[in-house]
Chains A and B, each alone.
Chain A
């Protein structure tokens, strides 16, 4: 068991469900959110070690989630996942602030490896 907290934000249920199941198998405590609003509300009451968020969402999007995370918890690492088509734009816009990028579909092994790297202090 490890006690690291992971937040997953994606407006498609399957992404949260699959990520949660994969990460829980490794002992992470995972919470999933279907929109940015709910994620931000939770962030105000709970710190997470890693936030995995979709870039494009209705309402509060991944960029805003990222900004809020960085403002509240500068140590928390953010991994951005996004549709393949948006990848270049995303990399350009977010260079520097983001721990990692992944185009969807994301290979679970690679996501796990990235989270492990994020947790090395």
Chain B
């Protein structure tokens, strides 16, 4: 198999070369010009990488920054990239002119965030297949995340289209509602009367003709897809771009809508109108948003004819065990998210072969189903099905598997809505980050109860948000009593409900007799850190209305209710709720700009996606420029400038280095014309000789790949370049003269760059060494960086570390000393190639560094 892959790769490479040759044409560019441009590209590239790393550090939560920092850092990055691009275009003779469009597009996105500029995007309807990363603001987080899972992860998401915020603007403008929204809250508070007025205007409004046409076309598309026999779920997609605030259950969802314009327009208006309720306004205020500037995108998705549906968490919110949690009920989703029925609960271990470790079957007495002709109704579950598991073992494992894929993809635990249709197919209906409730310290149970405090009640339940709160009890009998909920009270209710958001900012704690930890209310409590517990049995009957109590929801998932206010319990609990920077809205908003700057998506130059269009961030563009500049230099010297050809060095190690001699770096005489090999003996560049000597030092170059776990093997083959293959190394390049080397080495996912002048004149000598990247996770990569730091320090380098980038500088070194250091750096380059994969814990950093310094190179 590897032979086949190798053959395929070599075909691709050969084809690539041919194209380069053809495009190269006959106009020769002087090598000097080429090399000067190349150096400039490199200089700007290096500075740009430093800026990106600096922004990552400064916006990482350890610094207090302001918008001026972001502006000035970004402007410098922009200038460096612009300069790099213009040199790059000269170097490549405009071969990648379209990279400018990509650069400008990303620049626009960044400026919109940094300077709060408005969008030029004006589509009103976008099908999920066409949603790209840059549309997140217009289609809303919920649509964007789902489209991402469908398009990039290949998950089964029902056919759907997004109605954008632009459509929202058009609708609001068309119906003259804009002024009313702007006036909200001008008298100090937002009144229900003003909100009702807006809701009425929305419901009485008409869809603008242009939007109606677009809607009509989209619906025709949907009807064709499902051959007329289908209906839609129409729901809001107002979720924040980074999914921090979920708006869970805040807005209307209209299920089972016939795919005709009249019905869909009506549902659309209902969803839009739900933005203007006191419940939504309370949520928005609590989460730092402003109702007057909110725009709502909407998603229209084919309904799944669900046999069962529910919610799953890709990780335990308490992080107590390494498992996926699934809640399931019969019929459509609202049964669970609105807490209407008792659900089945499954726990699936996160192991190589996941197993269902807990299976708790709930009494599912009711379910929600689609009604003929539109709408939904709640019906009784047939008696024989009530206590039957809604999921088979295979289904729980399949769901868990998908949950883990999604978690892995978004790199965060996820809260996922799913459905299984009557044919047994799994569909993903929504995914958003899961709020976890991990505590910094676990206190022993014995300490918490004050001896004097009288316990009114102690009951097991399902903790939603741990913590403690005190206040007067407010026992809710009817939903309309919520209006008279006093600030600071403890809400006690029979069932949970997302309507509780109206009082959540003022509630000291929430307790319900029944409910599920997967409901909207539960998500909201976690978001706002309101201590809450569900399923405690009969608190609403045991406690009296208006009683002063202290509620303590502990680690073991039980609630203890004390009479009166127990101060030490409150203080103890509150100390543990440590907020993080991530909880500051302004922080998240400003930090969001990094999404367009830092991530590196272009990894493997052998893939088709390694193209200007594949660049999604500034980092990608830099990577592309760097890769193609090096390639151009190699190709250029090979085909256009035969006199100064790049020659492949034939070394005992497969480092795949091409050398470009700009004067006295090689001593190869007549060999250049023949097929003769250029070996180490022909190198007369002092610094290159020294560094290669180190790389070839016996025992430091490990040719065996570090072993991967069996289950990783297939996926890594698809993903990772075969780093032992020469195809991946042939772009390693050394530009040399007698006293100079600029060596760019890429091994797999990491880069070494070394620039050294090494002459008899000590004052002119410098050594610059840079190391960045890696294939393993950030933790292991950082460990490798720390290890390199330990070693470089030992050799007297000045070092700078930012994330997974390390830069070392050394100057004013005598030639013989410099050669010695270069030799050690050569060894270090070879030694660290795959070392990150072995750095399982911090302890190994010192150990491997020590071994290296002692000259012990075995891994």
List, in ascending order, chain A residues with CB within 8 A of B578's CB. 25
Q: Which residues of B contact A10 (CB under 8 A)?
A: 66
- Take A14-B586, A17-B587 as given contacts and tell me if A83 and B62 are in contact as well, using a CB distance cutoff of 8 Å: no
Assess A108 versus B63: contact at CB under 8 Å? Given A18-B581, A21-B579, A83-B68: yes
For residue B183, CB closer than 8 A to chain A, the reply is no
CB pair B64 A104 closer than 8 Å:
yes
On whether A105 and B69 interact (CB within 8 A), knowing A18-B64, A21-B579, the answer reads yes
The 6 closest A-B pairs by CB, nearest first: A105-B65, A105-B63, A14-B586, A105-B58, A12-B66, A106-B64
B residues within 8 Å of A by Cβ?
Answer: 58, 62-69, 578-581, 583-584, 586-587, 590
Option from B66, B580, B581, B586 in Cβ contact (under 8 Å) with A104: B66
B contact residues around A55 at 8 Å (CB):
none
Interface residues of A (CB under 8 A from B): 10, 12-15, 17-19, 21-22, 24-25, 81, 83, 104-109, 111
| CB contact between B590 and one of A14, A21, A25, A107 (< 8 Å): that residue | A14
Asked whether A107 lies within 8 Å of B63 as measured between CB atoms, the reply is: yes
For A19, A81, A105, which residue has the most chain B Cβ atoms within 10 angstroms?
A: A105
Give the residues in chain A near B580, CB-CB below 8 Å.
Answer: 21
Query: By the criterion CB–CB under 8 Å, are B66 and A21 in contact?
Result: no
Please name the residue on chain B nearest to A8 by beta carbon.
B64
A17 with B66: CB separation less than 8 A: no
30 A–B contacts from the bound complex (CB under 8 Å): A12-B66, A12-B67, A14-B65, A14-B67, A14-B586, A14-B587, A17-B584, A17-B586, A18-B64, A18-B581, A18-B584, A21-B580, A21-B581, A25-B578, A25-B579, A81-B64, A83-B69, A104-B64, A104-B66, A104-B69, A105-B58, A105-B63, A105-B64, A105-B66, A105-B69, A106-B63, A106-B64, A106-B65, A107-B62, A108-B63
Q: Please give the distance in Å from A18's CB to the nearest CB on chain B.
A: 5
Q: How far is the CB of B290 from chain A (nearest CB, A)?
A: 13
Contact: B584 with A21, CB < 8 Å? yes
Q: Which of B58, B62, B579 has the most C-beta atoms of chain A within 10 angstroms of its own C-beta?
A: B62
Given A17-B586, A106-B64: 19 more A-B contacts, CB < 8 Å: A10-B66, A13-B586, A14-B66, A14-B67, A14-B587, A15-B64, A15-B65, A15-B66, A17-B584, A18-B64, A21-B580, A22-B64, A24-B579, A104-B68, A105-B63, A105-B66, A107-B62, A107-B63, A108-B62
CA distance A21 to B590 in the complex (A): 16
**A108 contact set on B, CB distance < 8 A:** 62-64
Q: Which residues of A contact B68 (CB under 8 A)?
A: 83, 104
Specify which chain B residues have a CB less than 8 angstroms from the CB of A24 in the assembled complex.
579
List, in ascending order, chain B residues with CB within 8 A of A14's CB: 65-67, 584, 586-587, 590
Query: Which residue of chain A is the closest to B68 with respect to CB atoms?
Result: A83
Q: How far is the CB of B441 from chain A (nearest CB, A)?
A: 14
Residue among B63, B64, B66, B578 having the largest count of chain A Cβ atoms under 10 Å: B64
On chain B, the residues within 8 Å of A19 by CB distance are 64
A21 to B583, Cβ gap below 8 A?
yes
Give complex CA distance A104, B590 in Å.
15
Closest A residue to B578 by CB, please name it.
Answer: A25
Q: Which residue of A lies closest to B63 (CB)?
A: A105
Tell me which residues across on chain B come within 8 A of A22, comparing CB atoms. Answer: 64
CB-CB < 8 A to B63: which residues of A?
A: 105-108
Min distance, Cβ A110 to any Cβ of chain B, angstroms: 9
Q: With a CB–CB cut-off of 8 A, which chain B residues contact A15?
A: 64-66
A1 to B64, CA, bound (A): 23
Nearest chain B residue, comparing its CB with the CB of A14 = B586
Centre residue among A81, A83, A104 by max chain B CB count within 10 A: A104
Residues on A with beta carbons closer than 8 Å to the beta carbon of B579: 21, 24-25
In the complex the two chains form, what is the Cα distance from A22 to B584 in whole Å?
11
Q: How long is the Cα–Cα vector from A14 to B578 in the complex, in angstroms?
A: 19
Q: How far is the CA of A105 from the CA of B60 in the complex (A)?
A: 11
CB distance from B350 to the nearest CB of A (A): 32
The reply to whether A18 and B58 contact each other, CB–CB distance below 8 Å, is no
- Complex: chain A residue closest to B571, CB-CB: A1
> What A residues does B583 contact at CB under 8 A?
21
Chain A residues near B586 (CB, 8 Å)? 13-14, 17
Q: Bound state CA distance, A22 and B587, in angstroms?
A: 13
Kindly state the separation between the CA atoms of A105 and B68 in the bound complex, as whole angstroms. Answer: 9
Contact across chains for B587 and A18 when beta carbons are under 8 A apart: yes
- How far is A19 from B581 in the complex, measured between Cα atoms in Å? 10
Most A CB atoms within 10 A — which of B62, B66, B67? Answer: B66
Q: How far is the CB of B285 from chain A (nearest CB, A)?
A: 15
Give the residues in chain A near B584, CB-CB below 8 Å: 14, 17-18, 21
Q: Give CA–CA (A111, B63) in the complex, Å.
A: 9
Chain B residues closer than 8 Å to A12, beta-carbon distance: 66-67
Known contacts A21-B579, A21-B583; A104 and B62 CB within 8 A of each other: no
A35 to B810, CA, bound (A): 47
Q: Which residues of A contact B67 (CB under 8 A)?
A: 12, 14
Closest B residue by C-beta to A111: B64
Q: A22 to B578, alpha carbons, bound, how many Å?
A: 10
Contact: B65 with A104, CB < 8 Å?
Answer: yes
Bound form: Cα–Cα A14–B590 in Å: 9
How far apart are the CA atoms of A16 and B649 in the complex, in Å? Answer: 58
Chain B hits for A13, CB < 8 A: 586
Separation of A22 and B63 alpha carbons in the complex (Å): 10
Neighbouring B residues of A18 by C-beta, 8 Å: 64-65, 581, 584, 587
Q: How far is the CA of A24 from the CA of B590 in the complex (A)?
A: 22
Q: What is the minimal beta-carbon distance from B555 to any residue of chain A, in angstroms?
A: 22
Q: For the complex, what is the distance from the CA of A3 to the CA of B488, rounded to whole Å? A: 24
A83 CA / B67 CA spacing, docked (Å): 10
Chain A residues closer than 8 Å to B590, beta-carbon distance: 14
Q: In the complex the two chains form, what is the Cα distance from A17 to B350 in whole Å?
A: 38
Name which residue of chain A comes closest to B58, CB basis.
A105
A107 to B586, CA, bound (A): 18
- State the CA gap A92–B66 with chains docked (Å): 23
Smallest Cβ distance from A104 to chain B, in angstroms? 5
List chain B residues, Cβ under 8 A from A17.
Answer: 584, 586-587
**Interchain nearest-CB distance for B574 vs A (Å):** 11
* CB nearest neighbor in B for A52: B64
Chain B residues, CB < 8 A from A107: 62-63
- A10, A12, A18, A22 pick with most chain B CB within 10 angstroms: A18
Q: How far is the CB of A53 from chain B (nearest CB, A)?
A: 13
Q: How far is the CB of A28 from chain B (nearest CB, A)?
A: 14
Q: Which residue of A lies closest to B584 (CB)?
A: A17
Distance (whole angstroms) from the CB of B592 to the closest CB of chain A? 12
B579 — nearest CB in chain A belongs to which residue?
A: A21
Of all chain B residues, the one with the shortest Cβ separation from A18 is: B64
- List of B residues within 8 angstroms of A81 by Cβ: 64
Q: Whole-angstrom distance between the alpha carbons of A83 and B70 in the complex?
A: 12
Chain A residue nearest to B62 (CB atoms) is A108
In this complex, the member of B583, B584, B590 whose beta carbon has the largest number of chain A beta carbons within 10 angstroms is B584
A109 to B587, CA, bound (A): 18
Residues of chain A lying within 8 A (CB to CB) of residue B58:
105
Q: For the complex, what is the distance from the CA of A17 to the CA of B585, rounded to whole Å?
A: 9
> Which residues of chain B are within 8 angstroms of A109 by Cβ–Cβ distance?
62
For residue A114, give the distance in angstroms from its CB to the closest CB of chain B. Answer: 12
Complex Cα distance, B65 from A107, in Å, reads 9
- What's the minimum C-beta distance from B674 to chain A, rounded to whole angstroms? 59
Instruction: Give A15 to B590 CA distance when docked, in angstroms.
Output: 11
Cα distance A11–B65 in the bound complex, in angstroms: 12
A9 to B62, CA, bound (A): 19
CA of A19 to CA of B583, assembled, Å? 13
* B63, B579, B587, most chain A CB atoms within 10 A: B63
Please measure, in the bound complex, the distance between the C-alpha atom of A15 and the C-alpha atom of B580, giving whole angstroms.
Answer: 15
Which residue of B is nearest A107, CB measured? B63
Q: How far is the CB of A115 from chain B (nearest CB, A)?
A: 13
Whole-angstrom distance from the CB of B214 to the nearest CB of chain A?
Answer: 38
